[in-house]
Amino acid sequence: MKIEKSTVPLTKQIAVSAILLAICIASQFLKNLSVYITGPIINLCLILAVMMAGLTWGIVLSVITPVTAFLIAASPVMQAVPGIIPLIMCGNIVLVVMVALFFQPAITHRRPLFSPRSIVAAILCALAKGLFMGLTIALWLLPTFIPAESPLRGKMGVFRMTFSVTQFVTAIIGFVYFFIIWTPLKKAVVKEQ
């Protein structure tokens, strides 16, 4: 597998990425309602960034969105262990790199994107993100850096779920949204390439 280089003009890459970042930021104001609202939207925007603007812009959004999440609605665990932010960035990068590997070639070679193969690829991408974040954040970072006397210690079960299974589920939902909206977007993207 090879990561395809984007053939979309730079101005369009910047414009698309800016719009997707604005959507991410707007969704982060809803973070306190439910992670199942914000998470899928962020994952959808990361996937769309790769598919419409290229891997570089997917990585840019992967790095920016955890910072904006921290600035807009930082959870108590993010405030207690700010080292979580780079690991969230890396989890997002795992997702976008895998999207570039599995999904970008379908556009370049004008193959159908929605197929049994793409469903398996979506599950693998979401699983990789969930596993990475589960291993690095839930099983290593938080148990290591949350002090034993902290009230957050009592919520370790919730954190394990949030930074593993929930990441997988929200990425899967993001892919469902992607498959739904990609059909109308595909014509515009393919026309530009």
pTM of the model: 0.91
In a domain, 25, yes or no: yes
In a domain, 104, yes or no: yes
CATH number at residue 119: 1.10.1760
* φ and ψ at residue 110, rounded to 5 degrees: 55, 45
| Domain extent at residue 26 | 10-192
Concatenated DSSP letters for 119-142?
A: HHHHHHHHHHHHHHHIIIIIIIIH
In a domain, 4, yes or no: no
**Three-state secondary-structure class, residue 189:** helix
Containing H/E element for 43? helix 35-53
Helix axes 35-53, 165-192, angle to 10 degrees: 30
Please state the domain count of the chain.
Answer: 1
In a domain, 68, yes or no: yes
* φ and ψ at residue 189, rounded to 5 degrees: -70, -50
- pLDDT tens per residue across all 193 residues of the chain: 566 666 678 898 999 999 999 999 999 988 778 899 999 999 999 999 999 999 999 999 999 999 999 999 888 899 889 999 999 999 999 999 999 999 887 766 667 777 888 999 999 999 999 999 999 999 999 999 999 899 999 999 999 999 999 999 999 999 999 999 988 887 665 555 4
